[in-house]
Amino acid sequence: MAIIGFSRSAKMGVSAIVGLGNKSDIDEDDLLAFFEQDPNTNLIAQHCEDLKDGRAFAEAAKRVSKKKPVVVLKAGRTSAGARAASSHTGALAGNDKIYEDVFKQSGVIRARSLRQLLEFARGVPVLPTPKGENVLIITGAGGSGVLLSDSVVDNGLQLMAMPPDLDAAFRKFIPPFGAAGNPVDITGGEPPITYVNTVKLGLSDDRIHSLILGYWHTIVTPPMVFARNMVEVKKEMEAKGFVKPMVASLAGDVEVEEAAEYLYQNGIPAYAYSTELPVEVLGAKYKWARGAGLL
């Protein structure tokens, strides 16, 4: 039921919703095998209270996740949750460490919450596969840069150590009191062209593999101006062959909600009032890419 409202609200496509009931016949690995070859399905998201056949699931997931991301929300992680699961579906929720290992070994992205399952299902297929581990933050707000850096670590990502020549190149676009290094802090009073120049440089330099943008609402660069500029830059650079995952965090007045929506609908997962969600989605993409042997 949560998928229905969330997907309509987020304009996320859904190829199928399957409720497995008591799994007397069809179970999780059967569905993985089915959706593996379904051309309408880009990602498989699963909520479960147990796995009927853990070995068969691991085998199928290992194969399928190389082609399509598989995201799983395992309910009954805790003792109280496991008790509730046993009275709900009769599931033996089992030792969570075993599930953790099974998911890790089979390339499954584990969601820790219902909202995360939904956000990963929405965002992971939107992002292109990164070509390496170097993540760069470009931010109009120093404070967001710090919080985004924390999120980078929390989500198993790696801030690129900034090479001196690249640092000098970024510094040409930003005021002298902006912070060098990574995050690139362009400071809060800059016009749209500063976002445009620095993001273009971030997309074009091959040493950088992913971008995280921190937007800060000003009269000089209003939310929708920022959003339209970023989508244009993305298209322009893609036409030149520079394709990289890019996510955005927006701080500001309510207009940032519309801007985030516009960015998301145009291939840049973006969130208002959060420095965590965009990085979680990027982290999920990386987890998948690593598990699938693409990194």
Binding site for its own copies (CB under 8 A): 1-2, 4-6, 8-9, 47, 49, 73, 75-81, 83-85, 87-89, 113-115, 118, 137, 141-143, 145-147, 149-154, 159, 179-181, 183, 185, 216-217, 251-257, 272-277
Query: Which one, 173 or 216, has the nearer CB to its own copies?
Result: 216
Q: How far is the CB of 237 from its own copies (least distance, A)?
A: 25
Measured CA to CA, the distance from residue 262 to residue 22 in angstroms comes to: 41
Q: How far is the CB of 177 from its own copies (least distance, A)?
A: 11
Q: How far is the CB of 243 from its own copies (least distance, A)?
A: 25
Q: How far is the CB of 280 from its own copies (least distance, A)?
A: 10
Query: Which one, 33 or 98, has the nearer CB to its own copies?
Result: 98
Alpha-carbon Rg of the chain, whole angstroms? 20
Measured CA to CA, the distance from residue 223 to residue 109 in angstroms comes to: 32
Query: Which one, 66 or 171, has the nearer CB to its own copies?
Result: 171
Measured CA to CA, the distance from residue 241 to residue 268 in angstroms comes to: 17
* DSSP per-residue codes, 96-162: HHHHHHHHHHTTPEEESSHHHHHHHHHHTTTSPPPSSSEEEEEES-HHHHHHHHHHHHHTT-EEPPP
Query: Which one, 36 or 257, has the nearer CB to its own copies?
Result: 257
Query: Which one, 67 or 88, has the nearer CB to its own copies?
Result: 88
The DSSP output letter for 15 is S
What HEC string does 227-263 produce? HHHHHHHHHHHHHCCCCCCEEEEEECCCHHHHHHHHH
Q: How far is the CB of 52 from its own copies (least distance, A)?
A: 16
- Tally the C-alpha atoms within 13 A of residue 133's C-alpha that lie toward its C-beta: 11
Please name which of 282, 248, 264 lies closest in space to residue 130, comparing C-alpha atoms: 282
Sheet holding 109-111, edge to edge: 44-48, 70-74, 109-111
Query: Which one, 167 or 206, has the nearer CB to its own copies?
Result: 167
* Pair 136, 152: CB distance under 8 Å: no
Measured CA to CA in angstroms, residue 136 lies from 158, 257, 269, 289 at distances of 9, 23, 16, 18
Q: How far is the CB of 154 from its own copies (least distance, A)?
A: 7
Query: Which one, 225 or 292, has the nearer CB to its own copies?
Result: 225
Query: Which one, 38 or 253, has the nearer CB to its own copies?
Result: 253
Q: How far is the CB of 117 from its own copies (least distance, A)?
A: 10
Q: How far is the CB of 271 from its own copies (least distance, A)?
A: 8
Characterise 50 by phi-psi region: left (phi > 0), alpha (psi -120 to 50), beta (else). Answer: beta
Tokens describing residue 189: 């009073």
